[in-house]
Structure 1
Amino acid sequence: MSSLTILDFSDNMLTSSTFQLLSNFSSNLRELYLSQNNIVLSHYSHHSNFPSLVRLDLSYNNLTSSVFQGNFNFASNLEHLDLTNCSLMDTSFPMSSTSIVNSSSSLVLLHLSFNLLTSSNIFHWIFNFTANLHSLSLDDNLLEGRVPNNFDKAMNSLEYLDLSYNKLQGDIPAFFGNICTLQTLHLSYNNLSGDLSRFIQNSSWCNRHVFHALDLSYNRITGMIPTSIGLFSELDSLSLQDNSLKGEINESHLTSL
């Protein structure tokens, strides 16, 4: 099986020994899909070597707190990493340990949705091993506090960001408008507050020509919807329901949308 490049074992009942077995013939493996199995890697110590891996999907397994402290060696050209619904906690990402990706300049997609993350330190962990992400999903966790102020500088290649269904607090971060590549921003179902007009006006929105979707629904946002919302001429989807907005909407808001 040394010529195998794509392997999909998703939706089975495979266990952790499968993961260990795969490393024995993984020299040319580029895509590995193990989603929705019975893989448990809580105390995994076997040396796993995947030198050619580009896509890895371990979603819907049980990767508990010590998985990233093991001796993993993923390729520097890993592009897609999906760890959705893996029972990951804050302790799964020790700041002092070697990253799961030794050199991650190629990583463009990271999915950490539906886990048990509570601390915003996860952002700093991500910043430590990649700066070229295009898609980041951290929705449906338990994240509290504020998004770090240096987020826009560390994640200046993002196109898609989902932080919805968490417990994030504070004003809506204006620095999201400084990520010139950002096209989609989901912040719904948090505890974000602040004045919407101030958020729109204080952001540089250098991505105005590519920005397509903004979801701020189910937060605690106040103020009026500014007419400057019309500057987002490429906007396809705008969700502001269940906040505390006031005022009126007229043609000046909608003409350019």
Structure 2
Amino acid sequence: MRLLTIPADASPSFSKLTLSLASTPEEVREVQRLRYKVFIEAMSLSALANADGLDKDDFDNYCDHLIVRDSKTLSVVGTYRVMSPHAARRMGKFYSEQEFDLSRLDNIRGVIAEAGRACIHPDYRSGGVIMLLWAGLAAYMRKERCEYLMGCASVSLADGGHNAAALFHSFQEKNMAPADYSVTPLLPFPIGEREAGHAPQVPALLKGYLRSGAWVCGEPAWDPDFHSADFFLLLPLAKLDNRYARHYLKETRTA
């Protein structure tokens, strides 16, 4: 089902981008191939390398996959994996529950959509693709009658974890969730004391969540497979910044 088509300047050829939901096994494999190139090959994660060249797990069969294509080349250039409350019930858990205890969120589980595996081809990172993916997330949440969007944002530990620690200390000042929405990492990343003079660098995806009004719901988890510290984020639609609400929650055309 096509959700939205917009002209965009995300590629040098100014081609159009199209947004859709994966509807065939081959489209899901296209998504998995892009994720493999971005998450595994580009990050040189040899422990996760495989002959198929696919980044895949059991959750892929339960989730919906937003796809952004370059309509000239037909290549998949961006994707987001989304799990509805119904799909989480069928699977038995959300993906985030592999890293966090979400029991404090039990009272809102039925109105949460989970987004993850955000992935954009390096040649298409001028902004158009992520804007289209966010519009797709908004449309998906309306369709599923969800009031919250949750997910994990990863911060590389290539610097020894200094940036992840600095980010957490900076979040404590204005970005933390109310206590009723706090979660606990199953494998905590050791934060340590605040380092004087270390200015945190906020990754683009994490910055987008925070600008939209998302809360950071506690200390990060350590993901040894991807060598990252993962922050759990919860975005209540009622809290969505007005600028982003106008942009992402505007009416979209369906076909």
Q: TM-score, normalised by structure 1?
A: 0.26
Higher helix share: 2
Q: TM-score, normalised by structure 2?
A: 0.26
Query: Relative contact order (alpha carbons < 8 A, sep ≥ 6): 1 or 2 greater?
Result: 2
Higher strand share: 2
Considering only CA atoms, is the larger Rg found in Structure 1 or Structure 2? 1
